[in-house]
Amino acid sequence: MCTALAHRGPDSRGVHLSPGAGLGIQRLRVIDLETGDQPVYNEDGTVAVVLNGEIYNYRELRSRLRRSGHRFATKGDTEVIAHLYEEEGAGCVASLHGMFAFAVWDLRRRQLLLARDRVGKKPLFYAERDGVLTFASELNALMADAGVPREVDHRALDEYLTFLYVPPPRSAFLAVRKLAPATTLLYRDGRITMRRYWRLDYSRKREVNDLADLHEEIRDALRRAVRRRMLADVPVGAFLSGGIDSSAVVAAMAETSPEAVKTFSIGFEHGTFNELPSARLVAERFGTHHHEYVVTPDATELLPSIVRHYGEPFADSSAIPCFYLAELTRRHVTVALNGDGGDESFAGYAHHVSNSLAGQLDRLPLWLRRSGQVLGERLPSNGDVRSTLNRARRLTRSLALHPGERYARYASCFNAAQRAHLYAADYAAHVGRPPPEVALVHAWEHASGDSALDVMLELDVATYLPGDLLVKIDIATMAHSLEARSPFLDHELMELAASIPARVKLRGGRRKAVLRDALRGWVPDEVLDKRKQGFSVPLADWLRGELRGFAADILLDPTTRERGYFREPVIREMLSRHAAGRVDDAPRIWALLVLELWHRELVDGATGSRRLAGAGAAA
């Protein structure tokens, strides 16, 4: 299991073995390079800890614990968990400020505590069977335990085709689960007890009488978050995309750092997807030591490697530039700050605008909204999913839906009707019901926020952020032994953002209005006022060009067809209409391609079987 995690921590390996428990750790040395190797223990060795991540307030916690009589053998952050556990038990997580997944073995009580950070920056997989609990930071490491069954979870694959990732608590394997963010798992006497210890509350709103005061509060909170994440005993840099969030992080770093900040950007030869000019503008403004890399990727070469690293199907195509950017960055630094989380806290996505507008239109009579839906069905698709025409088409087609169903439609790659059309009859029976969209509708109805925008942000933070964005960046960076830190995911900054009224965040259809205004005069106007691009790749063009033959060869060959999952004519039609430019089916083709490569890389080789089993899952 440690060997399977060597890329995450190439600097040292530590193992604790005692009756009833074994802990292993691959460490990337970032803080306390000399004495901080793990496992770490309390004074008498009865509490053993392994930590993946960083505790940013460890110095304050060390001072507090010393005053209580605790003695420290290291100078790092992991040891505070051992002593804090002695004081507060499983409740120690409430005192920790950072990104983490950790395990505590209590030799006296013979119990194991697993915990994950509030937002879900650091992953944790586990499997329980016959009184044995196995856990790991990556799925491939967990599956190194030969006792964990490799039966595929087809409900999870249905969720994957819906969202492009497998949401917790499921994994792609039936026997494996993911620990949810902000959750502790206590294992004792063969029993699991879970507790959620934190969640954002969007119902408590502040009075905003003076926007200037609020802007200053946002800037100060971001500065504090950045300062915390610059704490390291190794070189620190930043990803710089040229967008608002990463530019704000670099601006705050430049204020704090005594030396020029090292920044790293990636671009494409395809102009629409190239943000290098904006990144250069920010780098020049703040005098950074800037590095660029223009990608002409060979996806056929890189994709199998990416699939292996993720361990389960994961079809966010921006993982490709993330891998390239992480490889470039690791040549120069060990830690990189990024802008992840700004959109989810401050309303930066197109669906925040469109669904907020649709929420206002919900006041119209149902017959009128249904008429708009009929009109939307007649609007043609021009093949560009981001075009104004297609956005209008999606909005009008969703007017008669429940708000939660509308959100689910925006969050879906294959919607329920498309999946039903795609699945072979026998496979549809394996997938089961209810469809994944039902969970989003349920979450919508039980959200703490009152406005449509607040509910969307709450669901983004609970689903898309930990299920997609954080998985993408964690795996891509740790594959290159690079630690990524996200100031916008500081829980105090997120709590501040959640308390801001929706009308202040999204004014006149202007995304991230309050954040843009707070950064005015600090971040260049050209960055604040330009249209959002996002960290994406020209996938549609690739699948009409250099990847067209590769995708067809994989998706239509006998190995794929013999699985019995999908209707071949549906896949042929999808490939044909995308190649002709009639529609943009790139996300769906990519999802199917990744799924098949995952089977070949991580299922077929382990089981020796490809065909769908008659009474269960694919072996």
Q: Which of 131-145, 370-384, 432-446 has the lowest mean pLDDT?
A: 370-384
Cα–Cα dist 424/414, whole Å: 15
Position 421 pLDDT exceeds 60: yes
Q: Which of 228, 253, 249 shows the shortest CA–CA distance to 57?
A: 228
| Residue 385: per-residue pLDDT | 52
Contact 283, 263 (CB under 8 A): yes
Both tokens assigned to 199: 């969640």
Output DSSP code: residue 179: P
From the list 49, 129, 155, 39, the residue with the least C-alpha distance to 436 is 155
Inform me whether the pLDDT recorded for 436 exceeds 90. yes
pLDDT at 611 over 60: no
Peptide bond into 434 cis (omega under 30): yes
What's the whole-number average pLDDT of the chain? 90
Band of residue 356 on the pLDDT scale cut at 50, 70, 90: confident
Q: What is the pLDDT of residue 222?
A: 98
What pLDDT is attached to residue 471? 98
Report how far residue 502's alpha carbon sits from residue 352's, in angstroms, rounded to the nearest whole number: 11
Residue 493 has pLDDT above 80, yes or no: yes
DSSP H/E element including 52: strand 47-55
**How large a percentage of the chain has pLDDT more than 90?**
79
* Fold of the domain built from segment(s) 211-346+459-529: Rossmann fold (3.40.50)
- C-alpha 53/C-alpha 103 separation (Å) is 12
Q: Does position 251 have pLDDT exceeding 90, yes or no?
A: yes
CA distance 512 to 457: 12
Could you tell me the pTM of the whole model? 0.92
Strands 111-116 and 98-106: antiparallel
Res. 617: pLDDT tops 50: no
* pLDDT band at 608; cut points 50, 70, 90: very low
pLDDT at 592 over 80: yes
| Mean pLDDT computed over 508-521 | 94
Domain ranges of the chain: 3-196, 211-346+459-529, 350-451, 539-607
Of all residues in the chain, the percent with pLDDT exceeding 70 is 89
Res 366 pLDDT > 80: no
| pLDDT for the residue 609 | 38
Name which of 59-63, 141-145, 153-157, 581-585 the model is least confident about.
581-585
- For 167-205, the pLDDT digits (tens) are 999 999 999 999 999 999 999 999 999 999 999 999 999
H/E element holding 589?
helix 586-598
Angle between helices 548-556 and 568-579 (to 10 degrees): 170
Query: pLDDT class for 446, splitting at 50, 70, 90?
Result: very high
Residue 314: pLDDT above 80?
yes
- Checking if the pLDDT of 504 tops 80, the result is yes
The DSSP secondary structure of 102-159, one letter per residue, reads EEEEETTTTEEEEEE-SS--S--EEEEETTEEEEESSHHHHTTSTTS---B-HHHHHH
Query: Is a pLDDT exceeding 60 seen at residue 367?
Result: no
Q: Which class in CATH covers the domain with range 3-196?
A: alpha beta
Average pLDDT over residues 411-418: 93
* pLDDT (0 to 100) of residue 29: 97
Q: d(Cα 471, Cα 469) in Å, to the nearest integer? A: 6
